[in-house]
Chains A and B, each alone.
Chain A
Amino acid sequence: MKNKTIKKVDLIFEQVDHLAILDKTLNRSSEEIILDIIDSGLRGRGGAGFPTGLKWKFARNEDSEQKYVICNADEGEPGTFKDREILTQVPEKVLTGMAVCGKAIGASEGYIYLRAEYNFLLPMLHQKIDTFNNVLKEKKFDFSVAIRSGSGAYVCGEETALMESMEGFRGEPRNKPPFPTSKGYLGKPTSINNVETLVFALMIANLGPKMFKELGTFDSRGSKVFSISGDTPSAGIYELELGMTLEDFVNEFGDGDTKAVQIGGASGYCVARKNFKSTVIGFEGIPTGGSMMLFNSSRSMYNILRDYLEFFEEESCGQCTPCRIGCQQLLKGVEAVKKGLKPPSYLENLQRLSETMKIASKCGLGQSVGNPFNSIINNFREEIIY
């Protein structure tokens, strides 16, 4: 049974005349560009959802000769694969989005930080970048784009770890403050945005904020590209209007036997069937960087949780105590409970620990491990124990 309430949108993958948009934007002041982005309500599409216009404004207001634009293409969250597709299908839109950001904040250099697993895109991207840089040169707009490759660490998607990596250091998140908009790449003001965010910013610069505001809800303006996977007959990439309920979503994409949906990847939340109706996908409900993993009744939630925890204990950078050791304890703990080596009540100890990880870890990685942990345990406690 298909539900008709989900609105499919085509802003991201629509082919546009990116050079015309660029010309139009270069003729505007940075204030105007930023005001439009703020007005549109666009929030970061990488997962954290920071208001994009504000980020640009902070970076613009910094007094510095040198500023940077970084396109975060480290798409490492398990279950998300939309940035790869955006870079493949509409690379010029990404590059132009970066130039728009450069114009807005006053930066002359932009970098795409590409995850190591996407290196197969390099020949194509280099070609597009060379062409694009030449066009900018002809237009006498002082901006150029280059690529930096990651080396495979999940944590390097965290913005400050990404910058450490770009600078040639070990990918470890920095202390914040200072935030990247004041001290980012090489200590200079930097606006770092997700691939998709930059394309939306370009489209808002092109069409104005109104059309974007008309999509979505008050807290979650616009549309979003989803990476849909798991037990679904229609796995793939879809641009959907934000603010739908999970029930509508499952009706559209489920296989008729959906038991739970993991929203936002391994670091997101697991929602059980009983809560599909009350769950809104968006910043007022459960936000996602795009990953939607559907699980049907054949799946063991214990195995899913264990897999996530194995992922985190390996992908923690290891510098801060709550994350490095906490992840290992959560994993060893659920295994011990499953084997009967620890009583079921031990899960409460672990949940308290996950609360500490949430508030005391240094970066978003450790802070979000509690999301899948608590939501799976709270919803599927018996599957973990028995």
Chain B
Amino acid sequence: MSKFQVNLKINNLAIAVDEGTTILEAARQLNFNIPTLCHHDDICVAGNCRVCVVEQKGSRLLPAACATPVGEGMEILTNSMKVRQARKHVVELLLSEHNADCTRCIKNGECELQKMSNEYRTGNNQFISLLKEKDKVIDFSSPSISKDDSKCIRCQRCVRTCAEMQAVNALTVAYKGNNMRISTFLNKPMNDVVCTNCGQCINRCPTGSLTERTYVDQVFEAVYDPTKFVVVQTAPATRVAIGEEFGLEPGTRVTGKMVAALRRIGFDKVLDTDFSADLTIIEEGYELLSRLKAALVDGKAPALPMMTSCSPGWIKFQEHLYPELLENLSSCKSPQQMFGALAKTYYAERMNKNPADMIVVSIMPCTAKKFEANRPEMRGSGYKDVDFVLTTRELGMMIRQAGIDFNKLENESYDGMLGESTGAGVIFGNTGGVMEAALRTAYEIITGREVPFSNLSIKPVRGMEGVKEAAIRFKDVLPEWNFLEGVELKVGITHGLANAKLLMDKVKEGNTGFHFIEIMACPGGCIGGGGQPLPTTLAIRKKRASGLYEEDEKMILRKSHENPEVKELYQSFLHQPLGHRSHDLLHTHYYSRKKI
């Protein structure tokens, strides 16, 4: 444990820190803030923006605080005249190639470059504008992400995120010198490369260069169109994050306020993706059991381990990089798409609405959901199942634009029929949540008893480790599940596509031993999604995760199969899991895509 201690002085204050600590971290311990742009706690050090330079006594050069480890006897000044001049120059230089169209920018108020130029008040631009007209052409090709090179400061946070956290490498550095830019393979449009639309690049872009494609205006238009019946669904992870848009602590549970806000905006019905999360558990659970039966009873070789299919970023990743494992993916649509398909069939029928006049809007923590809703196969209802997908951030924008004082709203409840949910549906937003929900239900279906974990909390599948494992043995099973007597179900959970890639390589080698794997494209699961409020850090993601677990514990129903509206749905419409209607509406298929 005892790391070697290094003594140094920062702004004449002595401090001893662990060997290997950077100057930036040491300064933070002394409550000195050193500005950063290319630095992000989630990704590796770059040291390329140079805004964090500090003065080191005895050195001709100004070292970058984020990239320089402390040394014994170092004397550092974080705000000397030399440092101030250099920092101002760096900010001015960045502004000289930046499309500082701040008032119109979607990141206005959240841009780190804007914040820094506010702090340094550089005044009149002394340098010549280097902004190139060709850089102002925004790439709108992707339904999820737009890329505006004119606002890029070349910090490479997106490149490092795409390579290091997600192992996707859709974004890369191209050319050098004055032509250096962040580009894609052969500078192809974003929808034509391996991009999974996960949006993690957006979450780490310090400026407005990478942003989600926004559909706020289209949604308002639909809401205000009297001929349209507009329903909205909200994903689990939004309810512990939307508060951040209004100054609340990350993880604050504001489900009731969010529902109230949506109703005030004017949605005709406010419904919950948690409902279809519960439904997913039933369909996916039975799918897993049927695969296990095929293997254990029928002597067949079904694709195992089965993998979850809730995360559209993960799906596209698999389609690009592991097409040979597509059979392993559960054929279940994601909860968003199950909801959309049911909304325009089952729900429309019972509400006596013409599905042609219905608009289904989703509020998602995710940018990949925008792409998913546009997949051509997502038309099980005969219409586009989900018309518009907004991120948590866009919902924040809508609430502000509608003039709603979010924090003062009274709690309201979801509308019925597709609005009831259980705690199991709620925790879908966390890494491990789908697995936990699935085990709660599967164990009970098979044994007739609750999962043997205190308070239904299956701790081994929770937490932020890259790959988690758990095993559960079925004993004294109900007669119809005899073939599972004594069987140990082994499950794996991973989040972040770089972790997923490591796991997939093992699956390809065939030596994981897992029967079922939950995979979420984003770090921490959906609570760390590419559409969640900014900024994002591990600490913030942990708080949101705790928020969801609290929400789960506060629910009366905590097992998907106990959801009364799901039961009603099976009774009156679907009739049985994996049945004919399920097949048409709730299941899908996948495509092999190019590897570039």
- Please indicate the chain B residues that have their CB under 8 angstroms from the CB of A325 in the complex: 93-94, 96-97, 130
With beta carbons under 8 angstroms apart, the residue of B46, B69, B96 that contacts A177 is B69
- Please indicate the chain A residues that have their CB under 8 angstroms from the CB of B534 in the complex: none
Cα A355 to Cα B84 in complex, Å, equals 13
- Tell me whether A329 and B90 are in contact in the complex, defined as CB-CB below 8 angstroms, given that A315-B177, A316-B177, A321-B51 are known contacts: no
Cα A319 to Cα B179 in complex, Å, equals 11
A344 at the interface (CB under 8 A from B): no
- Please indicate the chain B residues that have their CB under 8 angstroms from the CB of A360 in the complex: 50, 53, 61-62, 86, 89-90
B48 at the interface (CB under 8 A from A): yes
Q: Which of B61-97 contact A (CB under 8 A)?
A: 61-62, 64, 67-69, 82, 85-86, 89-90, 93-94, 96-97
With beta carbons under 8 angstroms apart, the residue of B64, B153, B176 that contacts A362 is B64
B60 at the interface (CB under 8 A from A): yes
Q: Which of A298-322 contact B (CB under 8 A)?
A: 312-322
A280 at the interface (CB under 8 A from B): no
B175 at the interface (CB under 8 A from A): yes
Q: A195 CB to closest chain B CB, in angstroms? A: 24
A326 at the interface (CB under 8 A from B): yes
- Please indicate the chain A residues that have their CB under 8 angstroms from the CB of B89 in the complex: 322, 326, 352-353, 356, 360
B17 at the interface (CB under 8 A from A): no
B127 at the interface (CB under 8 A from A): yes
- Please indicate the chain A residues that have their CB under 8 angstroms from the CB of B176 in the complex: 153, 155, 314-318
- Please indicate the chain B residues that have their CB under 8 angstroms from the CB of A170 in the complex: 173
Q: Which of A313-368 contact B (CB under 8 A)?
A: 313-322, 324-329, 332-333, 336, 342, 349, 352-353, 355-356, 359-362, 367
Cα A175 to Cα B39 in complex, Å, equals 13
Is A313 in contact with B178, judged by CB distance below 8 angstroms? yes
Is B49 in contact with A321, judged by CB distance below 8 angstroms? yes
- Please indicate the chain B residues that have their CB under 8 angstroms from the CB of A332 in the complex: 128, 130
Cα A365 to Cα B46 in complex, Å, equals 17
- Chain A residue, CB-CB nearest to B83: A360
Is B178 in contact with A359, judged by CB distance below 8 angstroms? no
Cα A50 to Cα B325 in complex, Å, equals 54
B156 at the interface (CB under 8 A from A): yes
Q: A305 CB to closest chain B CB, in angstroms? A: 17
- Chain A residue, CB-CB nearest to B173: A170
Q: Which of B174-206 contact A (CB under 8 A)?
A: 175-180
With beta carbons under 8 angstroms apart, the residue of B49, B69, B82, B178 that contacts A320 is B49
Cα A328 to Cα B129 in complex, Å, equals 10
- Please indicate the chain B residues that have their CB under 8 angstroms from the CB of A319 in the complex: 46, 48, 154, 156, 173, 180
With beta carbons under 8 angstroms apart, the residue of B50, B69, B177, B180 that contacts A361 is B50
Cα A349 to Cα B69 in complex, Å, equals 32
Cα A286 to Cα B85 in complex, Å, equals 27
Q: B128 CB to closest chain A CB, in angstroms? A: 5
- Tell me whether A336 and B97 are in contact in the complex, defined as CB-CB below 8 angstroms, given that A315-B177, A321-B50, A360-B86 are known contacts: no
Cα A349 to Cα B89 in complex, Å, equals 10
Q: A58 CB to closest chain B CB, in angstroms? A: 15
Cα A11 to Cα B126 in complex, Å, equals 52
Cα A155 to Cα B180 in complex, Å, equals 13
- Please indicate the chain A residues that have their CB under 8 angstroms from the CB of B67 in the complex: 175
- Please indicate the chain A residues that have their CB under 8 angstroms from the CB of B472 in the complex: none
- Chain A residue, CB-CB nearest to B175: A318
Q: A169 CB to closest chain B CB, in angstroms? A: 10
With beta carbons under 8 angstroms apart, the residue of A153, A175, A352 that contacts B47 is A175
- Please indicate the chain A residues that have their CB under 8 angstroms from the CB of B48 in the complex: 319-321, 362
Is A329 in contact with B96, judged by CB distance below 8 angstroms? yes
Is B64 in contact with A359, judged by CB distance below 8 angstroms? no
- Please indicate the chain B residues that have their CB under 8 angstroms from the CB of A315 in the complex: 176-177
Q: B93 CB to closest chain A CB, in angstroms? A: 4
- Please indicate the chain B residues that have their CB under 8 angstroms from the CB of A361 in the complex: 50
Q: B21 CB to closest chain A CB, in angstroms? A: 14
- Please indicate the chain B residues that have their CB under 8 angstroms from the CB of A352 in the complex: 85, 89
Is B68 in contact with A177, judged by CB distance below 8 angstroms? yes
Q: B169 CB to closest chain A CB, in angstroms? A: 12
- Please indicate the chain A residues that have their CB under 8 angstroms from the CB of B126 in the complex: 349
With beta carbons under 8 angstroms apart, the residue of A317, A336, A356 that contacts B86 is A356
B15 at the interface (CB under 8 A from A): no
Cα A328 to Cα B173 in complex, Å, equals 19
B45 at the interface (CB under 8 A from A): yes
Is B178 in contact with A314, judged by CB distance below 8 angstroms? yes
Is A359 in contact with B86, judged by CB distance below 8 angstroms? yes
Most chain A CB within 10 A, of B53, B61, B96, B176, is at: B176
Cα A352 to Cα B93 in complex, Å, equals 13
Is A324 in contact with B61, judged by CB distance below 8 angstroms? no
Q: Which of B27-59 contact A (CB under 8 A)?
A: 45-51, 53
- Please indicate the chain B residues that have their CB under 8 angstroms from the CB of A316 in the complex: 176-178, 180
Q: A11 CB to closest chain B CB, in angstroms? A: 32
Cα A248 to Cα B47 in complex, Å, equals 44
Is A321 in contact with B85, judged by CB distance below 8 angstroms? no
Cα A119 to Cα B180 in complex, Å, equals 26
Is A314 in contact with B177, judged by CB distance below 8 angstroms? yes
Cα A367 to Cα B59 in complex, Å, equals 14
Cα A352 to Cα B49 in complex, Å, equals 19
Q: Which of A4-37 contact B (CB under 8 A)?
A: none
Is B127 in contact with A329, judged by CB distance below 8 angstroms? yes
Q: What are 7 contact pairs spanning A and B, CB under 8 A?
A: A172-B173, A314-B178, A325-B93, A352-B89, A356-B90, A360-B50, A362-B50
The 8 nearest A-B residue pairs measured at CB: A318-B180, A325-B93, A175-B67, A356-B89, A319-B48, A360-B86, A316-B177, A175-B47
Question: With contacts A316-B180, A320-B49, A324-B178 known, what are 12 further pairs, Cβ within 8 A?
Answer: A153-B176, A316-B176, A317-B176, A318-B176, A319-B180, A320-B50, A324-B154, A329-B130, A333-B128, A342-B128, A355-B85, A360-B50
